[in-house]
Amino acid sequence: MAGQYTLTMIKPDAVSSNYTGGILKMINEAGFRIAAMKYTRLTREQAMKFYEVHRERPFYEGLVEFMSSGPIVAALLEKENAIAAFRELIGATNPANAAPGTIRALYARDVQQNAVHGSDSDENALIESDFFFSRLERF
Ligand code: IDP
Ligand code: MG
């Protein structure tokens, strides 16, 4: 497959609620190929770095706190048009606005603890996949 890549995280809220299996099942059934995956926990510093594009936003501090509060699953996904297709699969940032059947509609708690991350551009997908995975960890 010579598709596009996107980077996802199953966030601490969803991991701690045992939604990892359900979310990975949706990802598989939507036709994404898993090119890399790891179970890990971000330090405060790593969460600050991952979300540094949002450092001026009022929700940044809370987001960093939340994202370093427990383990996550990070994965690199491949599919044709992966970035837009994955954003569609996960639904709107605020689950109150997420379309029925999307991952966030099914699994998110609120606008902060919203179950999953998905890259928003090719440029960020590359930055985010380099953040988590070395060349040797990608297949
Ligand atoms: P996205 O994850 O849908 O791309 P972004 O705007 O990139 O949304 O925001 C990054 C993350 O920051 C969100 O997924 C969510 O966890 C958190 N966030 C975004 N907006 C808010 C907010 O208004 N209040 C609290 N947290 C927010
Ligand atoms: Mg975003």
Which of 93, 107, 117, 121 for mutating ligand 1's site (highest number of atoms within 8 Å of CB)?
Answer: 93
In this structure, what token pair is assigned to residue 63? 């987001």
Domain that includes residue 110, residue range: 4-137
In this structure, what token pair is assigned to residue 19? 């939604």
**How many A from CA of 119 to the centre of ligand 2?**
6
* Ligand nearest to the backbone CA of 128: 2
* Residue that the structure tokens 């370093």 belong to: 68
Handedness of CA 96, 33, 119, 115 (dihedral sign): positive
In this structure, what token pair is assigned to residue 135? 């060349």
Q: Which residues, other chains included, contact 56 with Cβ-Cβ below 8 Å and sequence gap of 6+?
A: none
Helix axis angle for 82-90 and 122-132, nearest 10°, is 80
DSSP state of 53: G
If one counts the domains in the chain, the total is: 1
Answer yes or no: is the C-beta of 124 below 6 A from any ligand 1 atom.
Answer: no
Q: How many CB atoms lie within 10 A of CB 95?
A: 21
- What pLDDT is stored for residue 1 in this prediction? 57
Please report, in tens digits, the pLDDT of each residue of the chain (139 residues total): 579 999 999 999 999 999 999 999 999 999 999 999 999 999 999 999 999 999 999 999 999 999 999 999 999 999 999 999 999 999 999 999 999 999 999 999 999 999 999 999 999 999 999 999 999 999 9
In this structure, what token pair is assigned to residue 83? 């970035």
* Atom in ligand 1 nearest the alpha carbon of residue 113: 16
**How many A from CA of 4 to the centre of ligand 1?**
23
* Ligand nearest to the backbone CA of 63: 1
CATH assignment of the domain containing 47: 3.30.70.141
- What pLDDT is stored for residue 2 in this prediction? 76
Kindly list the distances between the CA atom of residue 137 and the CA atoms of 14, 38, 76, 118, 134, in Å, as whole numbers in the listed order.
24, 9, 10, 19, 5
Answer yes or no: is the C-beta of 93 below 6 A from any ligand 1 atom.
Answer: yes
Nearest CA to ligand 1 atom 25: 112
